[in-house]
Structures are given as C-alpha cells and as structure tokens.
C-alpha cells in the first residue's frame, strides 16, 4: 500500500470521526429529552389524552351518535341506550355536544397560544437585542397590559366587540403576550453576552439572522413550556367566559356554556348528566396539559 493511499484512508477516517462528533451531541440531546419525558408517567399519560382529544375533535362528525343541535322530544332525559349521556333542557344529545365542544376548546387553546407566543417572542427578541429606548418602551408597555385586571378587561372588550370565536381568541392573545415577551427578553439578555453571538456580530451577520437563527433556537425550551401551560389557561378562560354568557353562544356547543346550564340547584342535584361530563372533561384536559407541561419543563431543564 502506497503512502498516498494511507493518507487518503487516514483523512477519510478523520472526516468520519469529525462528522460523528458533530452529529452525536444533537442526537444524544434529543434522545435525552425524550427519555426524561418518558420517565414522567403523568406527562406521558397527559400527552396520550391530548392526542385522543385532538383525534376526537378532528373526527367529531363521524364519532357523534346524533346531530349536536338536533332538538328531540326528550327534554332533560336521563342517560339511556339511545342517549348515552342523556339530553339537555331542550332535548339535544349531551354526548354529541360534548364531542363537538372539544373542537371549540382546542381551537381556542392552540390558536390563542400560537398568536401570543409568536407576538411575544418577536417583541421580546427585538427588545432585548437592541436595548435602549426600545427595550424600555416595550417593558413599560407590557407593565401597562399586566396592570389591567385580566378577567374584567376581557369581559368589557368581549361585551363591546361581541362574543364570537375570533373575538375571544384575539382578546385572550392580546392580554397574554407580555408574559412571553418578558420571558424571552430575560433569556436573550444573557444569551447575547455569549461568545458565539459576539462572533456572529463580528462576522457582519444581520441582526435578524442573529436573533432568529442563533439566539432563538437556544431559548425555545422555556417558550415551549410556557406555551403548554398557556393552552390550559386559554381553555379555562374560554370556559369561564362561556359560563358567564360572554363566550361561545348557543347553539354552538362549548364546555363552558354546557356548564352554564347547571347554575340552578335543581340541575346540580337531580340532573348531574347536564354538568358532570363537561366539568369532568374540562378538569381532565387541564390536568393533562399541566402534567405534560411539567414533563417538558423537567426534560428541557439543562440542570438535568
């Protein structure tokens, strides 16, 4: 074997070793996150429950035994073989309405979080990266939004603009972005002092590329955890508004407006099928999302 062949094989092995060294940390980190998450059984159970809810919402037309808005002659009928969870006060099937209400809650939760996380992350990145008067202005603006009594302002805005699904999503997102903006700002203030960011600036990379390609990926962990808990908060907020009559209006089914039918003592004591299913599924959903958030927080914690 010639000296040239030996050099070629040596260089090939060195390049293969470099590729392995470059790839292993990323693969090992993702595997560690999955392994840590799997250790939390409550988090895994919560994830499975949310997947089942999404499946139920997507295939609601094929899973419901009756039309959710169909009025029958059986008013406040108890559970039977025809209506598994009984009927409400105007004769509509409770199970069908419960399944369709899953769509509303998931849409409100995921869309609200998607909007305010996107807005808050962008504002927090720009505020912390540029600093100065821009950072001060953004922080004072967030202070103003966080100073308002959350529920009271939302009730006023919804009563003025109307209680449509779009209005509820936008109003909830409008008063939720400051938390994400402050979270991202705190992380960016520490990250932009690191050597790799300073090197990117020295190389002449554009600020937008530095922010969204180099800084943002390293602060995604806290954002994901915050978004997870935000979904549960948005679902609860929508249910509370609907319960008070300021959210999703009948005949569109919602867990909140289904619970509003149980405001009388007679329904609470003698007709539990009108409120127990909606209350139970709301409770389980929030618990599942919070458990999943706890699992993600532990899995993404760098101290682990």
Confidence band for 303, pLDDT divided at 50, 70 and 90 = low
Instruction: For residue 233, give both structure tokens.
Output: 């908060």
Instruction: Tell me the C-alpha distance between 8 and 150, whole Å.
Output: 68
Res 83 pLDDT > 70: yes
pLDDT value of residue 49 = 95
pLDDT value of residue 54 = 93
Residue located via tokens 């009730």: 155
Q: Residue 88: left (phi > 0), alpha (psi -120 to 50), or beta?
A: beta
What pLDDT, in 10s, does the model give residues 5-54?
A: 545 455 555 455 444 444 444 456 677 888 888 888 999 999 999 999 99
3-state secondary structure of 87: strand
pLDDT value of residue 110 = 93
Mean of pLDDT values over 117-132: 91
- Of 234, 256, 236, 255, which is closest to residue 246 (Cα–Cα)? 256
State the pTM of this model: 0.83
pLDDT value of residue 269 = 79
Confidence band for 216, pLDDT divided at 50, 70 and 90 = confident
- Greater confidence (45 vs 304) lies with 45
Instruction: For residue 104, give both structure tokens.
Output: 């509303």
Instruction: For residue 208, give both structure tokens.
Output: 């937008």
Res 228 pLDDT > 80: yes
Contact between residue 10 and residue 2 where contact means Cβ atoms under 8 Å apart: no
Confidence band for 283, pLDDT divided at 50, 70 and 90 = very high
| Segment among 76-85, 136-145, 179-188 with least mean pLDDT | 76-85
Q: What is the mean pLDDT of the chain?
A: 83
Q: What angle do CA 203, 221, 197 make, to 5 degrees?
A: 15
3-state secondary structure of 158: helix
Instruction: For residue 132, give both structure tokens.
Output: 């100065």
DSSP assigned state of 272:
G
Please report, rounded to a whole number, the percentage of residues in the chain having pLDDT higher than 70. 89
Bridge partners (DSSP) of residue 87 are 93
Res 288 pLDDT > 90: yes
pLDDT value of residue 14 = 47
Res 164 pLDDT > 70: yes
Contact between residue 197 and residue 184 where contact means Cβ atoms under 8 Å apart: no
Please report, rounded to a whole number, the percentage of residues in the chain having pLDDT higher than 90. 28
Residue located via tokens 């959350």: 150
Instruction: Tell me the C-alpha distance between 57 and 74, whole Å.
Output: 26
What pLDDT, in 10s, does the model give residues 167-200?
A: 899 989 988 899 999 999 988 888 888 888 888 8
Query: Length of the chain in residues, anyone?
Result: 304
pLDDT value of residue 16 = 52
Q: Say which residues have a Cβ less than 8 Å from residue 29's Cβ, sequence separation at least 6.
A: none
Mean of pLDDT values over 141-153: 84
pLDDT value of residue 19 = 47
Instruction: For residue 69, give both structure tokens.
Output: 């808005």
pLDDT value of residue 23 = 45
- Greater confidence (210 vs 180) lies with 180
């Amino acid at each position: 074997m010639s000296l040239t062949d030996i050099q070629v094989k040596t260089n090939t092995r060195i390049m293969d070793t470099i590729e392995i060294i470059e790839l292993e940390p990323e693969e090992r980190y993702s595997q560690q996150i999955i392994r840590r998450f799997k250790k939390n059984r409550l988090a895994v159970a919560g994830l499975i429950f949310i997947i089942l809810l999404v499946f139920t919402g997507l295939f609601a037309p094929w899973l419901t035994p009756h039309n959710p808005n169909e009025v029958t002659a059986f008013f406040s009928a108890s559970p039977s073989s025809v209506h598994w969870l009984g009927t409400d006060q105007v004769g509509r099937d409770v199970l069908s309405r419960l399944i369709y209400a899953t769509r509303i809650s998931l849409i409100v939760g995921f869309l609200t979080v998607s909007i305010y996380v996107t807005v808050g992350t962008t504002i927090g990145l720009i505020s912390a990266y540029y600093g100065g008067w821009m950072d001060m202005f953004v922080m004072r603006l967030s202070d103003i939004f966080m100073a308002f009594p959350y529920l009271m302002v939302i009730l006023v805005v919804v009563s003025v603009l109307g209680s449509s699904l779009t209005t509820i999503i936008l109003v909830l997102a409008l008063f939720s972005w400051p938390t994400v903006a402050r979270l991202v700002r705190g992380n960016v203030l520490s990250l932009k002092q690191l050597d790799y960011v300073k090197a990117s600036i020295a190389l002449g990379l554009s600020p937008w590329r530095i922010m969204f390609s180099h800084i943002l990926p390293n602060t995604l962990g806290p954002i994901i955890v915050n978004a997870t808990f935000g979904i549960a908060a948005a679902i609860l907020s929508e249910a509370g508004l609907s319960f008070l009559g300021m959210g999703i209006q009948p005949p569109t089914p919602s867990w909140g407006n289904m619970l509003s039918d149980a405001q009388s003592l007679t329904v609470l004591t003698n007709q539990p099928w009108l409120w127990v299913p909606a209350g139970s599924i709301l409770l389980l959903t929030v618990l599942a999302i919070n458990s999943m958030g706890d699992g993600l927080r532990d899995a993404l914690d760098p101290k682990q």
